[in-house]
Structure 1
Amino acid sequence: MSAALLIIDMQVGLFHGPEQPHHGEQILANIQHLIAKARQQQVPIFAVRHTGPQGSPIAAGSPFWQLLPELELNAETATLFNKSRPNAFHDTGLAQQLQSRKIENLYLVGMKTQFCIDSTCRAAADLGLKPVLIADAHTCMDTPALSAQAIIDHHNATLGGAFARVINSADVSF
C-alpha cells in the first residue's frame, strides 16, 4: 500500500500571526519528524498553502503566504500547491496526482483543525482514500466558544469514528 504525507497550511502568516496556534512548537516538531521519516522512506510529500485574494495578507507570493522555512520544503523535495477553499482537493488536482501515483493512505497534518484539516480529511474519505489523521500533528487557535484543545480532541474523536484512522506521530510507519 502506498502512502503520502499531506501538510496543510503550515504558513508563516497562520503560524506566526497574532493568534498563536495551540502547542505550535510541538506540532511543528512533530511535523518535521514526519517529513524526515517520509524522506527516509521515500514517501511523497505534498504541501498546500491557503491562498487569499489579491491584497489579503495571504495573497499568493506575500510573506505571510509562504510555507514555514523550518519545514525545509521546496519544489525539489515536495509537491507544492495552492488552494482557495478549506478542502485541499477542491480545484487543485490533488486527487488526480494521488491516483496517478496509486496512493491509498494519506497522512494529514497541519492547520487549522476545524477548517482545512476537517474538510480535507472528510473529502479524502469520500474519494476512496484511506485518510490517516495524525492526532498530535494538527492544531488551531482558541475560539470564543471552545479552546483549541477541545476542538482538537473533538475532531480526533469525530474524524476517527467515521472518516480516518487516528494515530500519533510516534506511531507512524508509512
Structure 2
Amino acid sequence: MAVQTALLLIDVQNGLFDEVYEEEAAVLYILVELLERARNQQVPILYIQHGGGSGHPLEPGTPGWQIHPLVAPHSEDIIVHKSASDAFYESSLHDTLQSLGVTRLVVTGAQTEYCVDATCRRAASLNYDVYLVADGHTTSDNGKLTTAQIVAHHNHLLAQLAHPTHPIRVLPTTDIAF
C-alpha cells in the first residue's frame, strides 16, 4: 500500500500568531513554503482550528479564531474543528485521515507544548508515521522558558519518545519531503 502523506497545520489562527514577534513570523513563512510544496505535489492539507469558550482568544466567530491570512486555506483544503489540545479528541480528524488513506503526517503549528505535542503523541499511538517540522511550530514565552527553549525542548523530547513502530521524527523544513 502506498504511503499517503498529509500536512497538518495546528491552530495557525490570528489569536496565536502575530507577525510582530520574530519567532511567529518565521514560522508563518515556513508554513507558506510548506503549503506551496504540498499543493504542488497534491498532498492533502488539513487545518486544525481550535475553538475556545466564551472570552477565549480563540472563541469561534471572533477575529482571533480565524486562520491567519498568510496561510489561509484554499477551497480544497480541509478544516477540522477541535476543542482540546489533542486534535484527535472528539474531532473528525482520525476519520478524515482514514478516508483519505493517510498514513504519514507532517505536523506544524502552535502551541508547541500543548496542541502540537499532544497531537504528535496521539498520532503515533494511532499508528501514523509522524514528522514534526522542527522549525515549523511555535509557542509563547511562559515566564520560565523562552519560546526557543520550549521549541528546542519539545523537538528533543518528541524525537526521543519510545514507540516500537511509529517513532516521531523531528526534521527541519529543508528535510521534509512529501
Aligned residue number for residue 85 of structure 1 = 84
CA RMSD of aligned residues (A): 1.5
Q: Residues 18 and 25 of structure 2 are in contact (CA less than 8 Å); yes or no, is this contact kept in structure 1?
A: no
Query: Per-residue CA shift, 1:24-61, capped at 9, x if unaligned?
Result: 11111111100000000000000011101134332111
Take 1:105 and 1:152, find their aligned partners in 2: how far apart are those partners?
Answer: 22
What secondary structure is seen at the aligned counterpart in 1 of 2:130? strand
Deviates more, 1:118-127 or 1:7-16: 7-16
Higher relative CO (CA 8 A, sep ≥ 6), structure 1 or 2?
A: 1
Alignment of structure 1 residues 1-174 onto 2, 5 Å: 1-16=3-18, 23-74=23-74, 76-162=75-161, 163-174=167-178
Q: Residues 106 and 133 of structure 2 are in contact (CA less than 8 Å); yes or no, is this contact kept in structure 1?
A: yes
The alignment's TM-score, normalised by the length of structure 1, stands at 0.93
Q: Which amino acid aligns with 1:8?
A: I
Q: Residues 21 and 141 of structure 1 are in contact (CA less than 8 Å); yes or no, is this contact kept in structure 2?
A: no
Q: Which runs of 5+ in 1 are unaligned?
A: none
When residues 36 and 147 of structure 1 are mapped into structure 2, their CA distance, relative to the original with a 3 A threshold, is same
The alignment's TM-score, normalised by the length of structure 2, stands at 0.91
Q: Which amino acid aligns with 2:41?
A: Q
Q: Residues 80 and 92 of structure 2 are in contact (CA less than 8 Å); yes or no, is this contact kept in structure 1?
A: no
Q: Residues 22 and 140 of structure 1 are in contact (CA less than 8 Å); yes or no, is this contact kept in structure 2?
A: no
Q: Residues 108 and 132 of structure 2 are in contact (CA less than 8 Å); yes or no, is this contact kept in structure 1?
A: yes
Q: Note the C-alpha offset of 1:84.
A: 0.6
Q: Which amino acid aligns with 2:44?
A: P
When residues 144 and 57 of structure 1 are mapped into structure 2, their CA distance, relative to the original with a 3 A threshold, is closer
Q: Residues 22 and 141 of structure 1 are in contact (CA less than 8 Å); yes or no, is this contact kept in structure 2?
A: no
